[in-house]
Amino acid sequence: MHSWFHERPSHVGFARVLERAFADTNVTPPRVSLALPTLLATLNVPVQFVAKKLADAKERAVVTAIYAELQATGKVIKALPEDDRVVRARHAEEVLRIPLAELDAQPIEAKAAPEPVAVIPFSRTFLRPDMPVAEAPSIGPKTAERLNEIGVQSVADLLALDPADAAKRLNARHIPAATVADWQAQSRLMCDVAGLRGHDAQFLVGAGVRDRDQLAKCRPSELLTNVEQYLATSAGERTLRGGKRPDLAEVTEWVRAAQSPGERRAA
pLDDT of residue 171: 93
Q: Are residues 184 and 239 in the same domain?
A: yes
User: Is residue 18 situated within a structural domain?
Assistant: yes
d(CA 131, CA 226): 30
Single pTM value for the model: 0.57
Tell me phi and psi for residue 242, to 5 degrees: 75, 10
Q: Are residues 255 and 139 in the same domain?
A: yes
Q: How many residues does the chain have?
A: 267
Q: Which of 166, 162, 157, 161 is nearest to 132 (CA)?
A: 157
Model confidence over 4-41: pLDDT tens digits?
A: 434 444 445 555 555 665 565 555 555 544 455 555 55
User: Is residue 24 situated within a structural domain?
Assistant: yes
Tell me phi and psi for residue 260, to 5 degrees: -75, 145
pLDDT of residue 162: 97
Q: Which of 154, 159, 214 is nearest to 185 (CA)?
A: 159
Full domain range(s) for residue 157: 133-259
Specify the amino acid at residue 150. I
User: What percentage of the chain exceeds 70 in pLDDT?
Assistant: 67
Higher pLDDT, 100 or 24: 100
Model confidence over 197-251: pLDDT tens digits?
A: 999 999 999 999 999 999 999 999 999 999 999 999 999 999 998 888 999 999 9
Hey, how many other C-beta atoms are within 10 angstroms of the C-beta on 157?
Answer: 16
User: Is residue 152 situated within a structural domain?
Assistant: yes
| Count of structural domains within the chain | 2
Tell me phi and psi for residue 154, to 5 degrees: -120, 170
pLDDT of residue 59: 66
